[in-house]
Amino acid sequence: MQGNPIRKPDWLKVKFPAGANYTRIDRYHRLNGLNSVCRSAVCPNQGECWSQGTATFMILGTICSRHCRFCNVGSGHLDPPDPEEPMKVAKAIYELQLNHAVITTVTRDDLVDGGASQFVALIREIRKLTSECRIELLISDLQGNWEALASILAETPDILGHNVETVPRLYSQVRPEAEYQRSLSLLAEVSRLDSEIITKSGLMLGMGETEAEVLQVMTDLRQHDCQLLTLGQYLAPTRNHFPVQRYVPPQEFSAYAEQGLALGFAHVEAGPLVRSSYHAEEQYDASKRGVRG
């Protein structure tokens, strides 16, 4: 399956990062030792998002307890959560004057609550400094620990995201330590516990999935009350990662977006360079205009 890598098409070219906002956020990260998924996951939108003054923070370190073949986040020795991290990230969000903060995490199966208490502490610290900032979380499956999930939801984040990443047939090859049904159940549990919190998920395309499989996942997500969906092109971080099987053209992403809206998603952000937090603020606004159910 490795073979020779497929040549990237022109539509995957991105502009070189530049601008005052990009420089400001990049400098802040370096000076304060903050982690961002923008950098750790080699996100293709880092230049655009940072230039617009937005960023996605990653908490609980830079080492993951799982070994997914699509991800550039490292694995290895896991340090205990940094008790100062919630305060540091909240301070950054406040000082960078963000209106919509996105916070994600490495997976921490080594922690009893999967890291939920760190999310709780962070939300509380953010709200001490600003009541205006919307909070979007992108969490792991918490190994099905719904008590831990409930503790996060009790702090009422505006959006709770959890990505299914790919179609269930590919889980054993791409993310063998995850369970498709568990991910769906988490999204449904969010809506059961607090129907006011917007739920969100995402898939990467180009891993060998079929159109029928993608549409089935989209249907499954809607049946589990997922309201927002992101669809983007999978880009292998290195030759050692799961290889790209196909580059999906922009028109196919547009077709999936139309089908997603027909299924009842409040908003579908779809395109080759789309990632979970891409245009996150616009996705939130669209969800508030949409109808849940």
Per-residue model confidence as pLDDT tens for the chain (293 residues): 455 567 888 877 766 555 565 565 666 656 566 665 555 445 555 555 555 556 688 899 888 888 888 887 777 789 999 999 999 999 988 988 888 889 999 999 999 999 999 999 999 999 999 988 889 999 999 999 999 999 999 999 999 999 999 999 999 999 999 999 999 999 999 999 999 999 999 999 999 999 999 999 999 999 999 999 999 999 988 888 899 999 999 999 999 999 999 999 999 999 998 988 777 777 877 777 764 43
> Do the beta carbons of residue 81 and residue 111 sit within 8 Å?
yes
> Could you give the residue ranges of the DSSP H alpha helices within the chain?
20-32, 37-40, 46-51, 85-95, 116-129, 146-153, 171-174, 180-193, 211-223, 250-263, 280-289
Q: Tell me if 119 is assigned to some domain.
A: yes
Q: Tell me if 1 is assigned to some domain.
A: no
Q: Tell me if 148 is assigned to some domain.
A: yes
Whole-number Å distance between alpha carbons of 105 and 157: 15
Question: What's residue 41's pLDDT?
Answer: 47
User: Could you tell me the residue range of the domain that residue 246 belongs to?
Assistant: 10-289
Query: What total number of domains does the chain contain?
Result: 1
Q: Tell me if 2 is assigned to some domain.
A: no
Q: Tell me if 240 is assigned to some domain.
A: yes
Query: What distances in angstroms separate CA 246 from CA 5, 233, 235, one per listed residue?
Result: 10, 9, 10
Closest CA to 279 of 207, 217, 200, 225: 200
Q: Tell me if 5 is assigned to some domain.
A: no
Q: Tell me if 275 is assigned to some domain.
A: yes
CATH of the domain at 138: 3.20.20.70
> Do the beta carbons of residue 194 and residue 242 sit within 8 Å?
no
Closest CA to 198 of 129, 272, 293, 114: 293
Token readout for 265 is 């998603």
Q: Tell me if 191 is assigned to some domain.
A: yes
> Do the beta carbons of residue 51 and residue 22 sit within 8 Å?
yes
